[in-house]
């Protein structure tokens, strides 16, 4: 019975090591794919936001309550998209001026 428990422990240790290696490989693959996919995602998000804003303006133009439709569609879409881009690209204040981009040094 003792050798059976030792074998089970060895198998568990091997399985744990394999999981650690697999998760490390998956992490590195995700970071490589994430860089390529992030630009594509940003592009599609921009196109979708533009279309939603365009149709929102059209809906507002043909509505009896244009301000309501402007507040429902294009304004929140533009604000969310702008916040997304600013967070993604990085924004900081340097010498009292808002600077677009990551800090260096």
Domain layout of the chain by residue ranges = 2-100
Alpha-carbon distance 92 to 95, whole Å? 10
Considering the entire predicted model, what is its pTM?
A: 0.53
Q: What is the pLDDT, as a whole number, of residue 79?
A: 86
Q: What is the pLDDT, as a whole number, of residue 31?
A: 67
Q: What is the pLDDT, as a whole number, of residue 29?
A: 58
Beta bridge partners of 91: 100
Can you give the pLDDT of all 105 residues of the chain as single tens digits? 555 567 667 667 776 776 676 666 666 656 666 667 777 777 888 888 888 888 888 888 888 888 888 887 788 888 888 888 877 777 777 888 888 777 776
Alpha-carbon distance 48 to 38, whole Å? 15
Distance of CA 46 to the CA centre of its chain: 13
């Amino acid at each position: 019975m003792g050798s059976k428990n030792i074998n089970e422990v060895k198998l568990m240790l091997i399985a744990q090591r394999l999981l650690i290696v697999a998760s490390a490989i998956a992490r590195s693959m995700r970071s490589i794919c994430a860089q390529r996919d992030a630009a594509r995602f940003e592009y599609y998000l921009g196109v979708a936001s533009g279309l939603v804003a365009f149709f929102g303006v059209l809906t507002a133009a043909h509505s009896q309550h244009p301000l309501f439709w402007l507040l429902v569609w294009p304004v929140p879409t533009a604000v969310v998209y702008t916040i997304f881009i600013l967070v993604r690209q990085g924004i900081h204040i340097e010498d009292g001026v808002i600077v677009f981009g990551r800090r260096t040094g």
